[in-house]
Amino acid sequence: MCNGAGLHFVVLLSLIGIATAESSINHDYFKYNPMTEVSNWMAQIAKTHPDVVTIVEYGKTYEKRTISLLKIGVKSEAKKKAIWMDCGIHAREWIAPAFCQYFVKEILQAYKTDPKMQQMMTNMDFYVTPVLNIDGYIHSWTTDRLWRKNMSPGPYNCSCNGTDLNRNFDANWGTIGVSTDCCSNIYCGTQPVSEPEAQAVTYFVGSRIEDFLCFLTIHSYGQLLLLPYGHPNFTASNYDELMEVGNGAAEAIRKVHGMSYTVGTSPDVLYPNSGSSRDWARLKGIPFAYTFELRDNGTFGFKLPENQIQPTCEEAYSGALHIITYAHDKTFNSAVATVAAALWTVLSAAAVTGNNLM
Ligand SMILES: *[C@@H]1O[C@H](CO)[C@@H](O)[C@H](O)[C@H]1NC(C)=O
Ligand SMILES: *[C@@H]1O[C@H](CO)[C@@H](O)[C@H](O)[C@H]1NC(C)=O
Ligand SMILES: *[C@@H]1O[C@H](CO)[C@@H](O)[C@H](O)[C@H]1NC(C)=O
Ligand SMILES: *[C@@H]1O[C@H](CO)[C@@H](O)[C@H](O)[C@H]1NC(C)=O
Ligand SMILES: [Zn+2]
């Protein structure tokens, strides 16, 4: 009798414990969250999922804020493969950090019940950076909603701040789709990887480059899945496979809410550029490197209304999972990829102006 009561007491305590752990994350995924809330959320996620989540600090921004990511996977001594995802390299693209938060929530939820996610988290670690350009993101909340770049000062005597981090990577740096005017929204910096935020990604990913199967970098807007390279004179060695997998992701996206995403290289479907993190990742050997340009098509642009956060995240999750699952199965199941005839539309490159740069 005493034992029975004691057991019930223990069960009750652990139920309270579970309820407390779950309810301590009262995070709203379907509004835009300022940086302090994103940071608090990261800490809560790590605290409530200590078995699979750790926070990794891997750099400092220009204004000396710590850049950190959530490493998510079954802890293991064995060497694992890895998936990279970063959001918020461009400050004003607020739907991107919202997506990273949603993505983390979804994979942690799926892990509890879905054998496929359990298998993937056993074989791979997910490295998710919810906000890469933290200084710029904060600036877009406090001062200038449409700020894009980081916050480092320009070269000597320049009257503007900020470098476009997605033109600063060591990938045909400075050759096309950039500006050397430090006031431009596509200012590429003084030299490749001059910016601390680009350095953080370059060193962290570069130091374990062999592990990474996917490099997914999340932007808005335009409803596009962009693949390497941004420079029109270079073609990825696995271009056909990148197109095929990208088209599969676009189809997965369409199935969720009927939204159409266009797949192709930057010069084919958007505009040519150089120095992007995606191109750097592919040049370094990461096979599946994609840029997601989330909703919308320009109606609201960077100021996507909050009532579109949920559907945008739902469809993009499906697209991202398609790419990740393909990369996983190709590596771990030696599954032969089904080759479907790739079908895509090549759109004329959009005009490059300061206001519609994605
Ligand atoms: C710096 O800028 C000022 C004002 O634009 C200009 O008068 C001056 O010549 C510049 N100095 C250098 C060294 O470029
Ligand atoms: C550039 O940033 C510095 C702080 O690093 C600030 O004092 C200055 O006002 C900024 N310049 C412009 C043009 O916003
Ligand atoms: C691409 O190659 C062609 C032919 O070699 C050359 O004329 C052109 O300048 C190159 N484009 C760029 C952007 O470098
Ligand atoms: C958005 O643009 C793409 C082309 O980039 C087009 O295929 C699609 O139909 C557009 N969607 C909407 C909702 O306008
Ligand atoms: Zn962008």
pLDDT digits (tens, 9 = 90+) for 217-273: 999 999 999 999 999 999 999 999 999 999 999 999 999 999 999 999 999 999 999
Is residue 282 domain-resident?
A: yes
pLDDT at 160: 97
Cα 297 to ligand 4 centroid, rounded to whole Å: 6
Give the chain's mean pLDDT. Answer: 90
User: Considering every ligand atom, which ligand is closest to the CA of 346?
Assistant: 4
Phi, psi of 104 (to 5 degrees): -60, -45
Using the predicted structure, report yes or no on whether residue 36 has a pLDDT greater than 60.
Answer: yes
Domain span at 290: 35-147+195-343
160 lines ligand 2 (CB under 6 A): yes
pTM: 0.88
Provide mean pLDDT across the span 115-140. 98
Kindly report the protein residue whose alpha carbon is nearest to atom 12 of ligand 4: 297
Our mutation pick for probing the ligand 3 site, out of 233, 265, 266, 274, counting the most ligand atoms within 8 A of Cβ, is 233
Confirm whether 97 is domain-assigned.
yes
309 pLDDT above the threshold of 80: yes
Which residue's C-alpha comes closest to atom 9 of ligand 3?
233
Check which CATH number belongs to the domain holding 255 and give it: 3.40.630.10
Q: Is residue 263 part of a domain?
A: yes
**Total domain count, the chain:** 1
Residue 60 domain-assigned (yes or no): yes
Helices marked H in 263-308: 266-269, 277-283
Q: Are 346 and 267 in contact (CB under 8 A)?
A: no
∠ CA 99-102-105, rounded to 5°? 155
Give domain status of residue 9, yes or no: no
19 within domain boundaries:
no
Q: Annotated catalytic residue: which of 195, 197, 293, 315?
A: 293
281 C-alpha to ligand 3 centroid (Å): 22
Within a domain: residue 247?
yes
Both tokens of residue 309? 């956060």
Q: Tokens at residue 138, please?
A: 């904060």
